Each structure stands twice: as structure tokens, then as C-alpha cells.
Chain A
Amino acid sequence: MELQPTPPPAANLHVLRALTPDSVQEILHSYAAFCSSTASLLSGDLSATGPDFVSNVHALCNHGLRSLVRDHFLKSLEDSFESNSVPRFWRCFDDYRNVGILEKSEGGLDFENRVRQVLYGALEEISSDKAYQEKCLLMLVRSLDSYKESFPDGKCDLDDERTYLFSRYRLMVASVLMNSLPRHFPEMLHWYFKRMLEELSTTVDGEVDAGDGEDDCPDEDDMDLDEKGKASFRSGKMDIDESTFQGKLLENNKLVRKIGKVVHDLRRLGFTSMTEDAYASAIFLLLKAKVHELAGDDYRDSVLEPIKSWIKAVPLQLLHALLAYLGDTISYDSPSPGLKSPLASHQSSCSPGMNTPPEGLIRWQLRLEYFAYETLQDLRISKLFEIIVDYPDSSPAIEDLKQCLEYTGQHSKLVESFISALRYRLLTAGASTNDILHQYVSTIKALRTIDPAGVFLEAVGEPIRDYLRGRKDTIKCIVTMLTDGTGGNPNASGITGDSLLEELNRDEESLENGGVEEDFNTDEKQAWINASLWEPDPAEADPSKGSRNQRKVDILGMIVGIIGSKDQLVNEYRVMLAEKLLNKSDYDIDAEIRTLELLKACSVMIHFGESSMHRCEIMLNDLIDSKRTNHNIKATIKPSQTEPQEAGLSMDIFNTTIISSNFWPPIQEEALKLPEAVEQLLNNYAKRFHEIKTPRKLLWKQNLGTVKLELQFEDRTTQFTVTPIHAAIIMQFQDQTSWTSNKLAAAIGVPVEVLNRRIYFWISKGIITESLGTDSDDHVFTLVEGTSDGGKTGGNNKSCDELLVGDEEAESSVASVEDQLRKEMTVYEKFIMGMLTNFGSMALDRIHNTLKMFCVSDPTYDKSLQQLQSFLSGLVSEEKLELRDGMYFLKK
């Protein structure tokens, strides 16, 4: 083959000149002998390396052909390895091309064991082949060494020769194997490690259950099998539990040792990175599966700790063992690793301080924990919506997520995914405003734990707020939620009777207490401490949103923030309060007083309009005054004055709420002619009031109030709570059982349309029937005579005793905020129309600003942008204006 040696060119000529025919002869002879002995050596004949071999090598070296010797020897090693060992090795795995698929089809422990045996066998075989070749190589090295030793100056690089040759050999082995690597081998390795790890994990899990907490003994050397085995035998007599535990550990160690051996063998074959990949990915896969299994869809338990302890118990144990096993065997680079016993390795590994975990292990732990955190975080983030839906119960999950995020810092991921979940699932037309608000509150509460600075909360809250602003009933829902414990959230029975406001106030109080303390000792020292505690906002903070102090997370503030203006909230509250108070038939206003007090307490925080709150106070005060006045009047009125007994009416059952109308929201007035008897009562009452409170007089709001009626039928008595107009209607029927609608309307002094709407209540109760009269517009209402023919009454006669009327027709006694606004805004309609005539088209902002600029005196323009917008959209729907691309036009 390579007869021409390749010495350095400078020496080349000199060497050639020194060649004599004799020496050429000698070279040829020695080379032939060297080749043949090499061949026989590689074919398994160790005896071929006698003194002949050594002398041949020496002879060749003498002529400066040392590199030729080395190259030839390595080449022949390579040839034999490539032609014999490698194909044999790969052939072993040919049957298991698709382990995953095969496993499914064949399955079972049997298959698993077979695959394992194949892998072990193949590795054993190729390792022994390799060991043999290394032995051969060592012989060459020895002969080369002995040659060098003959020269005193050649002593310097004895070891170099050896390391050089072995590294070349190892490279050769690795490259040959890599070259011929079948594609299914990594897959198989992966599969193997996965199965082994799973097995290990299950045994460890069992251990955790059985030997409570004894699983983590990271200090003890896991490789120290034999000693532990002995220990278990020794202690076996004393404690059964202990011995079973030890037995399991022994089993684990066997498993670990098996894995360690495989890894070790593979490493020696040059598959270092592939092996590492395989077991690392297997570990990560297993960890991921574990995290998913532990976390699952249950948010009521914290899973971070179990995961961490699992990491310590399973993968880290394994890695610890593995690293220990590999670490020392590599340092102990013996030429015959296959023959080495684990005991030997243990002995050598004992020396370098057992108790400090190696650096590699720590790095692994960090990697694994990070991975676990990330996996859990992703899992939780993807389910954050659900987690927040059952927030107070799911706080452990939130706590977990918080820790994960602290570690991984991927807050932006949370924000993005949560916002998209919100858009997809909450901010849709199908969701009720109440639900959205409740979710909003839960979100605030939950994210407050994760991120006390409120930066991400702001980002997440923005879409919800924007969306809610577009809904009409938002304010109403907010007020209901704030003031009414039950009304806001009918299905959450657990927290009934406790309004959100109350809850908030409680929180706020505790916060306040903390805050007050802080204020008291703000001496220099405290100030310094505070200053040193300052932390910058997270990097994701939007600088345009103000500093941390302003961003203090308070739920009430954030809710009020939806509306935009506090006055609107208070106004809505006032309307609702008025409605509630006017429909009260007793004077019991404790709940309302309490709510108002809470609101006032909160108003300090968010600066509610003082005057609006004052008005609410007066409203409540009116009720208290009414109660007193009512009592006075009734006590002083002479009973003889009250004659009308036929309707069962007397002063005893008559009560009045007297309001200071200036401080109440505008009240819907509706003319109504009450029955004579009632009219009489009212007059007497008003007269009496005038007498008591001289220069003051009463103005009746006939259409307001509540009337409790008792209707008697042949077999039952039904109670109704109705408005005066309903009472007036039904009372008309006691003189005359049939009315035409026009006549009835005239009798009670309301327009026919109103009558038709109102009388529907009695029709729906089956007390009055409607039939077409002679005139198509003139219906005839007839009292149902007896219930036997009124089949439809049968259904609802049981639950009729308390029926509040008015809601079903959405008829409120107080003008709604919208109506008020419309009324106030109509003043500006002319301005706006004029503006648009002059300018052609204007954006909302510009209209707002122009109005602000020019309408300074009577009436001053003091509306918010939102109010203007809703008014303008009203005009658009009335087809007075047109809205295109955010610009308003006059409709032509």
C-alpha cells in the first residue's frame, strides 16, 4: 500500500541518499513481516506479537518510517473494525427499525426486555471488540516506546505517543460508527432511555408513597451499591420497612447502573453527544409529562413543590448517579473498561469529596427546574382564563404561576395569551355585562398577586375596559355589583349578602391600617429604608401610563376607570337609589344607609363628586323624615275625617314618602285620576301636612308608590303589590265589570296607550280579559267572572302573593340617566348642527373641544367625551347626522 513514506520534505533527500540496497532490503523485509503480524494480530492471534514484531517495528523506525508503522496499523485496525464489528453491531438493531411502532404492535414487558437485551448484547460485543483492538494498539505503543527508550533523547514524549495513537483510534472508531449510523439508532436510544426513566420514576414514586420522604438522600452516594446492599441486609432484621426501602433503592441502583453502563459504553464508542441528547430529551419528556400529570386541570393545589421534589427524586438522582459513574470511569481511563467492576469505580470515586454535588449536577438541576417552571407556566398561562374564572379557589395555581414567572420572566407571554383568550371567550356579544365585570374583578384580584405593581394588569385590563365602555348597561351593572350583594351575581351563592363594595372596603381598611403606620414613623431612617426598598418598574411598563404610585392597584378605582367619570357612576347610583326608595312601602332603609356610608368611605379614595353624595344623603334623610312626619300626621288626624270605608281604605293603611324633589333625580310624572276614596285620603293628608308644617305643602305624585291589594276569589286570596295605576284600574272594576278602553282611560285619566300597556298586567294574571269591541281601537275589558273558566289563572295562583310590578314593562319611576343626559344635551344640538354646517365634517374630539370653548355661559358645557359620543350616536340613529371614518357629517 503506502510504500512511500511521507517524512518531512527537508529530511527526504537526506534519507534517500543514505539508502543502500541493503537497507532497502531490510526495510522491505521488516515491512512485510510487520504487515503479516499485524494481520494475524487483528485476526485474533495475540501470540503474533512476539519479539519479532517488536524488532520489525524497531527496524522500520530505524529507517525513519515510524509514521508508516502507525498509519498502517491504524488503517488495518480501521479496516477490521469497519468490516467486522460495525456491521455486526448494526445488524443487531435491524429488527427494531421503528421501536415506537413495534412497541405498539408487540407491546408488553417481553418486547421491552428483548430490546434491552439486544442493546446490552450489542454494546457488550462491540465493546469487547474495541477492547481487543485497544489491546493490540497498546502493544504497538509498547514496541514503539521500547524503541524510543533506546535513545536517551527520545524519552521526552513517551506518553505523547500513547495519547496520540489512542486519540486517533478513538476518532477513527467514532467516525466509522457515525458514518454508518442507521437512522433508527438514535430513536432507539431515545426510546430506551425513556423506558428506563419511566421505570425508575414509577419505582421512585412507589418509594415516595411507602417510605415517606426518605427518598431524597442526595448526600449518600448512589453508586455505593454494595455497601448499601450490605447495610440493608444488616438492618433487615431490625426494621422491615427500612429493608424494603433499601431493597427498592438497590433495585433503583441496579437500574441506574444499567443505564450508566449503556451511557458509558456509548460514550466510549464516540456517541457522547447523541447519548446525551437521547437521555436529556428523555428526561425532559418525562418531566413534561410529569408536570402535565401533576398540574392537570385542577387549580386548587399548588403543584410546584411536588414537581420540584420529583425532580430531586427521579431525574436528579439518576443524573447524580450517572455523572458519578461516568465521571470517575473517564478519569480512570483504563484500556480495559469492559472488565472493570463497578466496585472499582466506586473506590476511585470515593476520594473527591462525596458531599458536595458536582457542578454538572447543579447545572442539570437548574436546567431541569427552569424547564419545569417554563412548562408549568405555559400550561397555566394557556388555562389562565379558566383559572381566573374560579379565582378564589384557584389561588394556589396563581401562586404557582407567580413563582414560575419570577423565574422565567416571560410576563409578556402571559399578557398576550390572556388578552387573546379574553377576546375570544369573554368580550363577545354573548357574554353578559355582569359576567364580564365579575371576570374583570377576578382578573384584577388574581393578577394583583402575580404582579403587585400592576403593570401587566393594566395591559390586560385595557381591552376589557374598552369593550365595557361600548356597552350600554355597564354603569348600571357596575353600580348594582357595587351596592347590591346578591343582585350582581345571582349564581354565586357563597358570597351573597356581601356586596363588592363591602368587600373592597374591608380590604381597603386593612391596607389603610398598614399605610397609617407607615405615615407615623416617617423619620429619616424610615425614609431611607423606604427609598432603599424602591424598585424600578418592570421593563415592560409603559412609561406613558404614569409612575408606580399612581398605578396603585385598587379595584374600585379600576372599575370606576371603566366608566371614565366618577360623576356618572354616582348619578347612576342616585337613580338606582331613588328607584329603590320610591318603591319601598316600609321605611326600612338600613341597607341603603350602609351602602351609602361605604360609598362615602370609598369616595375619599377616588374622589366622588361631593355634591352627588350629598344628594344621596338627603334622599335617605327624606325617608327618615317621612317616617316621622307620616307618624305625626296619622296620629293627629281625626278618625272621623276618614269616612270612605267601602274600599277598605283608612288612614291606618295609608303611608307617604315625602321627598325633597330638588335633590332627587327627575321623576317621571304621569297624570292619574285615583279613585274617589283615595283622592279623599290624599287631600286630608295634604291638608294635615299643611297644618303641621305651615308654609309647606304637599304635591302628590299620584303615579308613584306601591299599593298592596288583596283580591279574593271563591277559594283563595291573592295578594298583589302593584303601582297606583294598576290599583286604580282594578278598582274601577268594582262598580262596573266591563269597560271599553276609551272609557276606562278617561275614568282614570291616562292616555289609552298607557292604559293598554298597564292593564296588561291584570290580563296576564287572568283577572281581566280583553276582547275586541265594536270599534277596532276600542277594546273591551271584562272582569273574569269566577276562576273556573279562567284556565290560565290556575298556573300562577300559588305564587302570586308578592309580585312587584313595573319591571316587566321596564317602566321606572325615575328618569334614567340616559334620558336626563339627552335632555341636557339637546341644548347643544343646535350648536353642533351649526358647527357642522360651517365646517362640513368634524371629528368627535373637535366637536368636544369646540363646545368646550364656546359654550361657557349658561348652560356651560360640562359633558365628558363619552357622553357627547353617546349623544351624537343618538343623533346618528335619528338620521340627523352621519358618521363616516370617525367624522360626523350632516345628513343630507
Chain B
Amino acid sequence: MLLFLVNNVTKFETSNFSDENLDLISFCYVPPICTEWHAVASWTWDAQDETCGICRMAFDGCCPDCKLPGDDCPLIWGACNHAFHLHCILKWVNSQTSQAHCPMCRREWQFKE
């Protein structure tokens, strides 16, 4: 029995471990090797508000004209720091005859640089 254990230990020593400090018992257990870690995350727009002030849809969703959220329906910030769906605010800006204002604060609409 002892012989067997020693044999095994020597095998392990030659194959995997060169760390002399580990005691005998610990040889039987090797730290788990993680071969793959598949994590899950959700993305969110880094905006203060939850919903778009124009279409009242969630920022993390998309504007009524879009099918896919995210890259296809981005947010845009104005100089006043209000955020809207790009499509929503563009529609708004284009519909204004003169200078467009931010729908939230009535300031002149400027895209944030």
C-alpha cells in the first residue's frame, strides 16, 4: 500500500509538480484548472435616465422604428447632457423649422462633441 502511494507520488512529481514544498497529502489534489470560463453580462447605456424622453421607450431597448437595440439604435447626447435615441432626436431636429431645441430643457439643441 505504502509502496503504491509512493509510486504514485513519484509519478506525479515527475509529471506535474516541481514544487517541493507541498506535503504528501496535497499531492492528491491539484488546483482546478479552468479550461473555459463563459460569463454572462448585460450591456446598458451609460445614461442617467432610463427612458428616451421622446419615444418613452427604454434606452436599453430601441426606438419605435428599430428592430435591434444596441449598435443599431444608438443614443446621442446633447450639449445639455440629455440623451435620446439617435433616430428620435434626428426626427425631432428635422421636424423643427427653425433652430431645434432640446425636448427636455428647451435649450438649443447641440450634439455633444
Contact = CB atoms under 8 A, between A and B. Distances in A.
Interface string A781-801: 001111110000000000000
A793 to B, nearest CB: 12
Nearest to A709: B32
B17 to A, nearest CB: 10
A675 B30 CA distance: 17
B40 interface: yes
Nearest to A664: B42
A715 interface: yes
Contact of B38 (A617, A706, A715, A813): A706
Given A696-B46, A701-B40, A727 B29 contact: no
Contact of A653 (B5, B11, B36, B74): B36
A660 B36 contact: no
Contact of B41 (A648, A653, A663, A699): A699
Query: Secondary structure of the B side of the interface?
Result: mixed
B27 A714 contact: yes
A786 B25 contact: yes
Interface stretch (A95-103, A151-159, A730-738): A730-738
A690 B77 CA distance: 17
A413 to B, nearest CB: 54
B40 A659 contact: yes
A682 interface: yes
Contact of B69 (A618, A685, A693, A697): A618
Given A660-B70, A662-B69, A663-B61, A712 B33 contact: yes
A689 B43 CA distance: 9
Given A618-B68, A695-B47, A714-B27, A656 B32 contact: no
Interface string B49-88: 0000000001011000001111100110100000000000
A625 interface: yes
Contacts of B69: 618, 660, 662-663
Contacts of A705: 37-40
B94 interface: no
Contact of A660 (B25, B28, B60, B77): B60
A731 B32 CA distance: 7
Interface in A678-718: 678, 681-682, 685-686, 689-690, 693, 695-702, 704-715
A785 B28 contact: yes
A661 B42 CA distance: 6
Interface residues of B, number: 39
Contacts of B58: 662
B34 interface: yes
Nearest to A583: B38
A709 B38 contact: no
Given A731-B32, A787-B28, A656 B61 contact: no
Q: Is the interface of A mostly helix, strand, loop or mixed?
A: mixed
A698 B42 contact: yes
A656 B39 CA distance: 5
A697 B60 CA distance: 11
Contacts of A690: 46
A661 B39 contact: no
A646 B8 CA distance: 24
A719 interface: yes
A61 interface: no
A855 to B, nearest CB: 21
B34 A625 contact: no
Contacts of A667: 42
A701 B42 CA distance: 7
Nearest to A667: B42
Nearest to A690: B46
Nearest to B11: A714
B44 to A, nearest CB: 6
A647 B41 contact: no
B72 to A, nearest CB: 9
Interface in A614-656: 614, 617-618, 621, 625, 646-649, 653-656
Interface of A: 582, 584-585, 614, 617-618, 621, 625, 646-649, 653-664, 667, 678, 681-682, 685-686, 689-690, 693, 695-702, 704-715, 719, 724, 727, 730-731, 734, 737, 783-788, 813
15 contacts: A617-B67, A621-B68, A653-B35, A657-B39, A659-B42, A678-B37, A682-B39, A701-B41, A705-B40, A708-B35, A708-B36, A710-B33, A713-B28, A714-B8, A734-B32
Given A695-B74, A706-B36, A710-B32, 12 more contacts: A654-B37, A655-B38, A658-B43, A661-B42, A661-B43, A698-B42, A708-B34, A711-B32, A712-B16, A724-B39, A784-B29, A785-B29
